[in-house]
């Protein structure tokens, strides 16, 4: 069984897509026309600091992920058995599954990135070396009711989201329990209660978009299960304010049987997470 995976915001690096833009000039031009700027310059110009701004990061990650997928399919036309993406990466998975076409995908992530960029400011941090149940107990015991669990990435890696000052004051508490606290390079509390209004506005935008049932199963961040054909629109809208359940998603794939995980796009963060989860269950 073969699974293609796509990373989300945080995996962006200057230089990504360098070998792709010339290979796919039509898709590059389409992105430029929709976005109103050069996607090539955004990704390759190291003096351009916009790549780490949510409104620009999300379209860049989608375009590079989509072009990487198209390059892969050009060399290997056999469909994967499953597709999966982490947060923004789920949009590349849905494009690959035929839920929407490439121009629609660019427009979706452009709108999503703009809405999330304009959201209430906040912060996110990873807690590494501590199970999610212990992290949840830590929040309750510390009386930190303003912080949500945003990503369940692995058995020992949980991401928190909330107001910046509350995230920062968790650092000594986390470290006192022997875990590692790592602030993420984002400026808003994604996948938390603070994104509910964004999710509602994005749902209204989605109402006017033509979506199709996936032709290849896509594992949803919201449920850790394949997208249901009759709930694509609702599940996609909910994803913005709902925790990314990567751990249960990979557990689902493990139950389906032995699989090869192929990460398409910049970085290897998802590959490492999959390795950690599989090792926990005796798979390597």
Alpha carbon 27 to chain centroid, angstroms:
22
Would you list the DSSP string of 200-233? Answer: HHHHHHHTTS-----SS-EE-TTTSSBPPTT-HH
Residue 87 among the catalytic residues: yes
Residue 284 among the catalytic residues: no
- Which two three-digit tokens encode residue 228? 């249901």
Say if strands 148-154 and 157-162 run parallel, antiparallel, or are unpaired. antiparallel
Task: Quote the CA–CA distance of 195 and 232 in Å, as a whole number.
Answer: 19
Sign of the torsion formed by the C-alpha atoms of 37, 40, 41 and 42:
positive
Beta strand segments in 27-156, E? 82-85, 123-128, 148-154
8 Å CB contact between 269 and 11? yes
Residue from 86, 191, 192, 242 carrying the catalytic annotation = 191
H/E stretch holding 181 reads: strand 180-183
- Which two three-digit tokens encode residue 53? 């701004």
Task: Quote the CA–CA distance of 17 and 23 in Å, as a whole number.
Answer: 10
Residue from 11, 87, 132, 192 carrying the catalytic annotation = 87
8 Å CB contact between 157 and 280? no
Task: Quote the CA–CA distance of 89 and 10 in Å, as a whole number.
Answer: 11
Which value, to the nearest 10 degrees, does the dihedral of the CA atoms of residues 10, 14, 18, 21 take? Answer: 70
- The catalytic site residues sit at 87, 191
């Amino acid at each position: 069984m073969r699974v293609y995976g796509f990373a989300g915001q945080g995996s962006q690096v200057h230089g990504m897509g360098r070998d792709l833009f010339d290979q796919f000039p039509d898709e590059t031009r389409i992105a430029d026309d929709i976005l109103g700027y050069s996607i090539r310059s955004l990704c390759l110009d190291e003096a351009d600091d916009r790549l780490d701004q949510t409104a620009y990061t999300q379209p860049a990650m989608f375009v590079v992920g989509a072009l990487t997928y198209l390059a892969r399919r050009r060399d290997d036309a056999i469909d994967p058995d499953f597709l999966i993406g982490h947060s923004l990466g789920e949009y590349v998975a849905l494009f690959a599954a035929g839920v929407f076409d490439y121009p629609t995908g660019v427009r979706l992530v452009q709108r999503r990135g703009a809405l999330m960029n304009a959201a209430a400011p906040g912060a996110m941090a990873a807690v590494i070396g501590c199970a999610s149940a212990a992290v949840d107990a830590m929040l309750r015991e510390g009386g930190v009711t303003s912080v949500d669990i945003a990503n369940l990435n692995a058995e020992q890696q949980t991401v928190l989201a909330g107001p910046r000052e509350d995230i920062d004051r968790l650092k000594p508490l986390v470290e006192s329990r022997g875990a590692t606290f790592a602030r993420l390079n984002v400026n808003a509390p994604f996948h938390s209660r603070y994104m509910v209004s964004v999710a509602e506005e994005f749902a209204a935008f989605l109402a006017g978009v033509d979506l199709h049932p996936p032709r290849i199963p896509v594992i949803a961040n919201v449920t850790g299960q394949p997208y249901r054909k009759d709930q694509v629109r609702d599940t996609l809208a909910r994803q913005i304010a709902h925790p990314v359940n990567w751990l249960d998603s990979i557990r689902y794939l493990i139950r389906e049987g032995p699989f090869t995980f192929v990460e398409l796009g910049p970085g290897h963060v998802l590959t490492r997470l999959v390795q950690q989860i599989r090792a926990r269950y005796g798979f390597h």
